[in-house]
Amino acid sequence: MKKQTKHSDVSVPQTVTNFIKVHNGQETIQIGFTEQRISAHAGLSAFAGFLHWHRFRSVLKGFLPKRTSPNARRVEDLGLSFMTGILSGAKKLAQVAHLRADPLLPQLLGIEGVGSQSAYSRFFQSFKNGPANTECFGGLWRWCVERLAGRREGYTLDLDSTELLHEEGHQKEGVQTGHTSRGFKRGYHPLLAMLAEAKLVAGFWLRPGNSRSDTNVIGFTQELLARLPHWLRISLVRADSGFCFEPWLQLLEERALAYIVVGRIYEPIQRLIRKSTRWQPTELAGTEVAEEVHEGWGWKKPRRVVLIRHRKSQRPAAGGKLLVDCPEYSFQVLVTNLTLAVSGLEIWRRYNGRAGSENIIRELDECFALPQISLKKFYATEAALSLAVLAYNLCVLFQRHLGWMEKLTAGTLRFLVFSTGGIISRSGGYTTIRLAVRQRQHREWWARVLEKLTCPFGNCVAVEKFQPNWFASAAYL
């Protein structure tokens, strides 16, 4: 046997050659290359197991539009790889296509391969009109909602809109100038519906940037209510002042749906605030409540209006509008059809739960590329954004499948779980993935996750959440 030299390193694979030396200030490090099959996304094996448990590839195949070219990549493969790319952190079609270099993703997802940028462009161009998008994604939104369990208390439905700015998108359909929180800007103005308790998106429509908040809200709500499963009860609908729109309020009342909607503080409401002398103190210092029966502009009947004022000196962080002639207070106005058995303060508290919808929109913006995705055709953009939102829903359902009722953000999951690396090999006739997990407790956690995802019974024991401190604890090595 040839004696090893003092400086030899037997741990270096034979495929590594042509080292490049860099110095970190303390020592020299050699950097080379290897032909071993290594994936930076082996941690997505847990998410892929969840998809296979639900046979989600077949679900996509049933809803996505069919393609006529015999050489075209399958639509379910493109849809699944696009959503996985977005979940992995991609912001554009080119970044999704870059995942073609990963040797593991096709096997994990059970697809032929990740598409090229042009393949995704052609795929989204097949979405040509609103009815086709509604038929496709309406079924997918229903599929997501059907994964939820019924609640005796019912679910709270939050409606909201958001702004997707695209200042340079002059040649793209639907990118129009409209009023935004940053002034008049070019972009889109999509409409979303969310189930608050589940933190799940139940509907998504893209609209041009010059749309008002209440544009098409009647059709959107009718379509949404029509596809909800019969066993899922909506106990409350919440929305901001952009949706305080008489025909929409009438629709909710005709469907016997309870609602809390922020009132628009026009001059009649301002007069109501000024003349109200029935302000009642609450258990919250500095917050007072008054109630009136008021018929606003364009309303066909009077409605219950709850007025809330916060003394700025005592509650400086409280929300609300400022009035010139009442500078010491900020005001909120809530329109509701809840009975008098529900106090004004309780109505205000129930409405405040709507802050969760803002967190969902923030996560969609930060982790699912909603502000970045924009294609030339309007309905192609709507399809791409809908798939990105659907990826968010799958991330939520993945965590609920594991038994996590308080979800982590996709960014946290991506960093702690999905970005776990792994080595791919063949062993005993099987494709084998060895996850790069060093700590004993961390390995045991992965084993419980994978066992949960391969168990045929959905109600087997939940898995505890990942604990980041496992990385730092030497006791688990």
The single-letter DSSP state of residue 150 is: P
- CB neighbourhood size of 41 (10 A): 24
Inside any domain, residue 471: no
Given 342, 363, 391, which residue is the final one in a domain?
Answer: 342
Domain limits at 316?
A: 259-342
Inside any domain, residue 412: no
User: In this predicted structure, which of 35-39, 108-112, 396-400 has the lowest mean pLDDT?
Assistant: 35-39
Dihedral over Cα of 111, 114, 119, 123: its sign: positive
Given 312, 342, 372, which residue is the final one in a domain?
Answer: 342
User: In angstroms, rounded to a whole number, what is the distance separating the alpha carbons of residues 161 and 180?
Assistant: 11
Residue of 376 and 453 predicted with greater confidence: 376
Over residues 425-445, mean pLDDT:
86
- Whether residues 320 and 225 share a domain: the answer is no
Over residues 17-42, mean pLDDT:
86
User: In angstroms, rounded to a whole number, what is the distance separating the alpha carbons of residues 388 and 384?
Assistant: 6
Q: Total domain count for the chain?
A: 2
**% of the chain at pLDDT higher than 90:** 61
**pLDDT for res 157:** 98
Burial class, 290, CB count within 10 angstroms (exposed 0-12 / middle 13-18 / buried 19+): middle
DSSP H stretches of helix in 353-439: 355-367, 378-401, 410-413
Residue of 153 and 456 predicted with greater confidence: 153
How is the chain split among helix, strand and coil, in percent rounded to 5? 40, 20, 40
Report residue 458's pLDDT band, with 50, 70 and 90 as the boundaries. low
Inside any domain, residue 444: no
- Whether residues 282 and 304 share a domain: the answer is yes
Inside any domain, residue 94: no
Over residues 262-274, mean pLDDT:
83
Residue 18 near residue 31 (C-beta atoms within 8 A): no
**pLDDT for res 287:** 92
With 60 as the cut, is the pLDDT of residue 349 above it? yes
**% of the chain at pLDDT higher than 70:** 93
User: In angstroms, rounded to a whole number, what is the distance separating the alpha carbons of residues 111 and 424?
Assistant: 17
Residue 352 near residue 399 (C-beta atoms within 8 A): no
User: In angstroms, rounded to a whole number, what is the distance separating the alpha carbons of residues 453 and 49?
Assistant: 6
User: In angstroms, rounded to a whole number, what is the distance separating the alpha carbons of residues 92 and 86?
Assistant: 8
With 70 as the cut, is the pLDDT of residue 386 above it? yes
Inside any domain, residue 68: no
- Whether residues 131 and 177 share a domain: the answer is yes
End-to-end CA distance of the chain: 34
Report residue 7's pLDDT band, with 50, 70 and 90 as the boundaries. very low
- CB neighbourhood size of 365 (10 A): 15
**pLDDT for res 128:** 92
For 99, phi and psi rounded to 5 degrees? -70, -5
- Whether residues 132 and 190 share a domain: the answer is yes
**CA distances in angstroms from 167 to 95, 179, 372, listed in the order given:** 21, 13, 11
- Whether residues 317 and 381 share a domain: the answer is no
- Whether residues 226 and 372 share a domain: the answer is yes
Inside any domain, residue 464: no
> Is 429 in a helix, a strand, or coil?
coil
Inside any domain, residue 277: yes
Given 362, 387, 404, which residue is the final one in a domain?
Answer: 404
pTM of the model: 0.90
Over residues 449-455, mean pLDDT:
87
pLDDT in tens, 222-250: 999 999 999 999 999 999 999 999 999 99
> Is 168 in a helix, a strand, or coil?
coil
Dihedral in degrees, nearest 10, Cα atoms 145, 146, 148, 151: 100
**pLDDT for res 472:** 54
- Whether residues 228 and 280 share a domain: the answer is no
Q: Which of 304, 354, 307, 348 is nearest to 331 (CA)?
A: 307
With 90 as the cut, is the pLDDT of residue 462 above it? no
Which residues are registered as beta bridge partners of 305? 292, 335
Average pLDDT, the chain: 89
User: In angstroms, rounded to a whole number, what is the distance separating the alpha carbons of residues 294 and 306?
Assistant: 10
- Whether residues 210 and 156 share a domain: the answer is yes
Over residues 96-108, mean pLDDT:
92
pLDDT in tens, 197-218: 999 999 999 999 999 999 999 9
- Whether residues 335 and 393 share a domain: the answer is no
Residue 418 near residue 367 (C-beta atoms within 8 A): no
Which residues are registered as beta bridge partners of 330? 310, 322
> Is 216 in a helix, a strand, or coil?
coil
Residue 189 near residue 216 (C-beta atoms within 8 A): no
Residue 395 near residue 89 (C-beta atoms within 8 A): no
**pLDDT for res 476:** 42
Residues 6+ apart with CB under 8 A from 253: 337
- Whether residues 336 and 211 share a domain: the answer is no
Dihedral in degrees, nearest 10, Cα atoms 395, 398, 402, 408: 0
**pLDDT for res 176:** 94
Dihedral over Cα of 288, 292, 298, 299: its sign: positive
With 50 as the cut, is the pLDDT of residue 10 above it? no
**pLDDT for res 471:** 55
> Tokens standing for 90?
């991609």
- Whether residues 229 and 363 share a domain: the answer is yes
User: In angstroms, rounded to a whole number, what is the distance separating the alpha carbons of residues 15 and 26?
Assistant: 27
**pLDDT for res 67:** 80
**pLDDT for res 9:** 44
Inside any domain, residue 13: no
Q: Quickly tell me which residue has 């994990």 as its tokens.
A: 108
With 90 as the cut, is the pLDDT of residue 426 above it? no
With 50 as the cut, is the pLDDT of residue 475 above it? no
- Whether residues 176 and 274 share a domain: the answer is no
